[in-house]
A and B are shown apart, each in its own frame.
Chain A
Amino acid sequence: MIGQAFGGFGLVVVGFGILYCFGLIAAGILEFRRSHRSISDEVGEGYAYPEEATASTTLETPSYEIYALVAALDEAAVIEGTVRGLLAQAPNLRVILVDDASSDATIALARRAGGDRITVVARTLPNARLGKGQALNVGFAHVAHDVRERRLDPDHVLVCVMDADGRLSAGAVHTVAALFDDERVGGAQLPVRILNRGSLLTTMQDFEFWGVSALAQVGRMRTATVSLGGNGQFARLSALLGLGRPPWSSSLTEDLDLTISLLLNGWRLTSSMDASVGQQAVGALRPLVRQRTRWYQGHMACGRRLPEIWASRQMSHAAVLELSLYLAIPWLLVLPWSLFFNLGLLTMVSNLLTGAGVYASGGAARALGWLVVSFAPSLSLGVLYARRNRSVGLLRALVLSQLLLIITYVGYVAAWGALRRILRHQNQWEKTQRLADLGHPEPVVIEAGRG
């Protein structure tokens, strides 16, 4: 009986994984087809890789005023390019740079690049370095004040959150602005591309973000529950003001928290098939595990908002179900599957070596059969990635799809680490350092749940 219950739970876990992950990707591909677009990054008028877009100038004025919020801490290596790239997107775009007590030339370089179209909000210690959410809220207060001064309509003002090393693809702001012509849309998240695709680990992250997550996000456009991220995030000012509090919470995943809050207020959240945002990937395994542990911890903690979501009269049933499944991923998929997969693997290897159980005869062939069955589904992701990324051939993409196991194991370690931290009530985190920042000796402490 216990064995059957165990098997039944395993069936639910695998069924949920197939349904949610592959189902959303399939929904994303259908969405591309329905709008007569290719999933390849080669097509689209004016579309370009983010790294190619900084020189592009699209000086048509979108019908929305755009404020780009950039929280920066010691970003001298990248900030000039970021500011110039943003300003090249639209003539009515202003950059609000919130400097979190940088010790380098971040402010001077940003001012030089931004001229009279940048506002620098300089925070000083001890009121600085209190987390990205805090910094964004300070910038947001300046946006709200400026909009009041200029007597702008908050319905026609968009707030864009960018990482200090973020790069929008050519024409991204115009593409996103058009999404907001639907007055029910409160936010939009651009799909993420990894810019530093030089190593295996960073390429794997591009596979993950661009080859898998971006398609799933497009799939989530059907339920209008696209999850906002920390880079390339756009929101309608009136939607943010409607929250009645500073938009970005002290949660470890303030972007997911904002996603839920906007959905609870009845806004639709969408994505784009014609634009993207570029960012740096983490270049080493240990920081990657640390980053993912923080993400998992924030994601798992957001589960506490499920009662609000299920009580919501503003959200459709489909949105409630989709968001609930998304929040359940660590609990119902990653944690249990990490046990099932590894226990199954250990049992198989052990039985194979001892010739026990079903492996008493033809053991090697049986084991090989199971390995093929287990790894075959990810080959389909390799085919997709080869189509998504024009610089990767099919063979390489297929090999990469099998190496996704590395990222999968990073996820396992991170999810269990996050659970351990939740049980120990540990909320302090070090900021993920940029590759250019790795020489800095002092960690920056982000503390969730405190002012």
Chain B
Amino acid sequence: MSAWLGDHVSGLTVWSPGEEQSVIFVGRPVDLAFVITPACSSMIIAVIFFFGSALLAVFARRFRLRRILSAFFVAVVLAIFVNLVRVVLIILASAEWSYGIGFRLSHEYVGSLLTVFGMAIALLVYIVLLARDRPPVSTA
């Protein structure tokens, strides 16, 4: 991500030390450093969708396994994408408006809202994909 940001955002020097990818530095010499913790990642969302999908696969025979897996995949990819947007936004805002304003606004408020809406959209896509599975065979 740091390489992508460095390549695509002009005037911003973003890099990570080779052995430690979970730290992102801004500036040379370093102005800001971001430590990406597991809480910053989309892991928890992926785990939630994983357990939900596992329950559906085991108990909900009305859906095909292939459809459950594809819904899981798309929802998680979407959640990861929204989270990446959030992290990039936090880095850019912090670099632009300083830690006090930029980081707080983007991390606490905008970032939280993005996470919540990202979750809602991922859920919506997941449900829509399931709803469009082959219809059940009517016994009527």
Other-chain contact of A19, B108, B123, B132, B138 (Cβ < 8 Å)? B123
By a CB distance below 8 angstroms, the chain A residues around B44 are 4-5, 7-8, 11
Q: Verify if A396 is at the interface (C-beta below 8 Å from B).
A: no
A317–B123 CB distance below 8 A:
no
- What does the 1/0 interface line of A183-195 toward B look like (CB < 8 Å)? 0000000000000
- Dominant secondary structure at the B interface: helix
Q: Verify if B133 is at the interface (C-beta below 8 Å from A).
A: yes
Chain B residues 87-118 with CB under 8 Å of chain A are 104, 108-109, 112-113, 115-117
A317–B119 CB distance below 8 A:
no
Other-chain contact of B138, A4, A16, A266, A366 (Cβ < 8 Å)? A266
A313–B139 CB distance below 8 A:
yes
A19–B120 CB distance below 8 A:
yes
Q: Verify if B130 is at the interface (C-beta below 8 Å from A).
A: yes
By a CB distance below 8 angstroms, the chain B residues around A310 are 59-60, 62
Other-chain contact of B62, A320, A358, A362, A373 (Cβ < 8 Å)? A320
B45–A11 CB distance below 8 A:
yes
B108–A316 CB distance below 8 A:
no
- What does the 1/0 interface line of B26-53 toward A look like (CB < 8 Å)? 0000000000001100001101100000
Using CB atoms, name the residue of chain B closest to A373: B109
Using CB atoms, name the residue of chain B closest to A315: B136
Using CB atoms, name the residue of chain B closest to A310: B60
A15–B123 CB distance below 8 A:
yes
Chain A residues 281-317 with CB under 8 Å of chain B are 310-317
By a CB distance below 8 angstroms, the chain B residues around A312 are 136
A318–B119 CB distance below 8 A:
no
Contact residues of B with A, CB < 8 Å?
A: 38-39, 44-45, 47-48, 59-60, 62-63, 104, 108-109, 112-113, 115-117, 119-124, 127, 130-133, 135-140
Can you pick out 11 interface pairs between chain A and chain B where the beta carbons lie within 8 Å of each other? A8-B45, A14-B119, A14-B120, A310-B62, A314-B140, A316-B135, A317-B133, A320-B62, A321-B130, A366-B108, A373-B113
- Closest 3 interchain pairs by CB? A15-B119, A8-B44, A318-B131
